[in-house]
Structure 1
Amino acid sequence: MNDDFQLISLWLAGNRDFQTGVEIYNRLGSDYMLMTMFEQGHTSYREEQLIEAMNELLLEIGKSENPIASNQTIIHEAALFVANVENHGIRASLLPNAPFKIKEAVKMRRNLYYEFMRLHALLIEQTPRKLRTEYALRILDIFDEIKPLWDLTNFYDQYLRLPDEPKVIDINSLTIVEANQLYDANYKYVRKFYDDDKKKENVLKRIEESQRLKTRLINANAFFHERLTFPTVTA
């Protein structure tokens, strides 16, 4: 293998000094977003991302030199994998064979984290008040957007599978009591999140479902919530 391959291998096998790793990645890597994030200094998260980026870079260099990996290369990569597990732990969501949905979640999570760091840095600077408010509100949105991504990847790391898809409720199979309970639950959900643009799709689904529930219960002369009126949906 060439000198670049050996250089990265030595860094991964050594004490993995953060600043040294950043200098190596800036010279050999190609992801500008990661470079910018690394330049902001050491954190546990950035160290984890640097190690992952260096492992990926090592594999890319190895494949470009020899598309059909030799036994020596395979053994070397296996040794690195074992070292990562023993010394740092490893997340299944970061492995090359992770499902596409997981890889996309990891990518989106990184992008949101980078955006958060950029906005946070701008807040510290002498930014006009109007922009500071805009940046602060966006940071709050980022917290909301990044949580389900972490929930998804953490689930995969723990169970090595994707979460089950939400079950579609067949309202015709519900008992009278269950149908009324669902109508009440939908009412509370809609009232709480009606003005939340992020939940608009779910709100509309619940309103439509409740209309069908109400029709079924009225036809059965078993509708218990005459006083619960849903907001009008505007186009």
Structure 2
Amino acid sequence: MQDIKKWLNGAKDFQQGRQLYDQYGDSNVLKKLFAIGDTLLGRKKMETALLELLSNSTPDVVTHEAPSLQLRKIDGVPEELKPYIEKRKKLHNQRRELHAQLRMMLLHQIKKYTDQDRFVIQMNIYEIGREIDEIWRIERYYAETKTLPVPKPATPVVVDPDTSPEIMYKRIHTLRTYLTPSYQKRLKPSRIEEYRTELETLQRYIADDPPTV
């Protein structure tokens, strides 16, 4: 579904969108509508249909077989595994609420919501799906080994000394925008931490060796 995601976030070429729906969609009515050509109604229906396909799809990650049934219940589960199960339940609830909100926006075409608003919700659904899949992976690993997987070390942020001052200051401004309270609502916690680490690294680099603008 990465190609649909790319289409929704790009120029939205009509013929390319038609090919995508022919590949992934199952409504013959919509396929006949799109075959007529690039019309205002067809374009509107196409974007809605592809958004629905993407929001209802499984994330493009390796899925894992669910752990044994005894690990699905909190009672009797080892203490170190309980936070993951609780988080998975909360993520399922969040995704269910986002799906309901997206369906309402798509069905009723509420004007106060923009395409960007719908796309942000869809991307949140996608990211939550990735988190749920990762938790299932951890639970399966624990079921097989009775230990938690060792977390991967964070990739250090390295500043390229050849980066121009203009680009460096522009990136700092962008990162500060991402870390504003209003923008953080759109981001997952891990991404917020990545942006914060990158911002701090850039600021330290400039403090130690300020570039000449």
Structure with more contact order per residue of length (Cα contacts < 8 Å, sep ≥ 6):
2
Where is the helix percentage greater, Structure 1 or Structure 2?
1
**Same fold (TM > 0.5):** no
Shorter-chain TM range is 0.3 to 0.5
Q: TM-score, normalised by structure 1?
A: 0.37
Q: TM-score, normalised by structure 2?
A: 0.40
Q: Tell me which structure has the larger Cα radius of gyration.
A: 1
